[in-house]
Amino acid sequence: MNKAAIRFLGVGLFLAGAAFQIHLMVGENDQAKGDITPQAYKQAQTELKNVKNQLAQLQLDLDNAQQEQTASETEKKVETADTASNEATNSVLHIQSGMTSRDISTSLEQAGIIQNKQDFEDYLIAQDLSSKIQIGQFELNSTMTIKQIAEIITK
């Protein structure tokens, strides 16, 4: 065989391979379109309905759990409020010469009369009462408001 014949044979084999490859690619596209049979479509729809039902059930379960959690938290808040109202903390506040509003706020918070010393101190400053605090002993309890406590210690 001569060189030209071998070249033609090689080019022929290359073209035949390319033609087979093109045929397979076109055939796969046709088969992919034809794979969806009515039975496969019905099965996919059934699976989709099942998944939607499961999702709806999970959503209901989540809603119920959230409602139970909210109810539980509400009951705890009510119990805490009842306990707090039943257990009012009484204390005698001793204000001495040289004590600042910060010192008094800290004492009240430590005694359990107020929840937040910064709120009380801010109230005294905002109402211009920090310079009007009186020296002495004052009976206070935790059911009093910040305003009531301020009125008592600034009379």
pLDDT in tens, 77-114: 766 665 555 578 888 999 998 888 899 999 999 998 99
Per the CB < 8 A criterion, the answer to whether 105 and 120 are in contact is: yes
Of 52, 81, 110, which residue constitutes the final position of a domain?
Answer: 81
The verdict on 53 and 115 lying in the same domain is: no
Best CA proximity match to 91, nearest among 154, 152, 132:
152
Helix (H) or strand (E) holding 138: strand 136-141
Model confidence at 11, in pLDDT bands (50, 70, 90)?
A: confident
| pLDDT score recorded for residue 152 | 92
| pLDDT score recorded for residue 62 | 87
How many Å apart are CA 129 and CA 147, to the nearest integer? 11
The verdict on 93 and 41 lying in the same domain is: no
As a whole-number percent, the residues of the chain with pLDDT over 70 amount to 88
The verdict on 146 and 118 lying in the same domain is: yes
How many Å apart are CA 27 and CA 29, to the nearest integer? 5
The verdict on 17 and 39 lying in the same domain is: yes
The verdict on 75 and 9 lying in the same domain is: yes
The verdict on 69 and 93 lying in the same domain is: no
The verdict on 15 and 48 lying in the same domain is: yes
Is residue 68 predicted with pLDDT exceeding 60? Answer: yes
Question: Domain range spanning residue 75?
Answer: 3-81
Is residue 1 predicted with pLDDT exceeding 80? Answer: no
- Count how many domains the chain has: 2
Pairing outcome for strands 136-141 and 90-95: antiparallel
The verdict on 93 and 72 lying in the same domain is: no
The verdict on 16 and 39 lying in the same domain is: yes
The verdict on 7 and 74 lying in the same domain is: yes
Mention every residue, 6+ apart, whose C-beta is less than 8 A from residue 140.
90, 91, 92, 93, 108, 111, 113, 149, 152
Model confidence at 64, in pLDDT bands (50, 70, 90)?
A: confident
| pLDDT score recorded for residue 33 | 57
147: domain CATH number? 3.30.1490.480
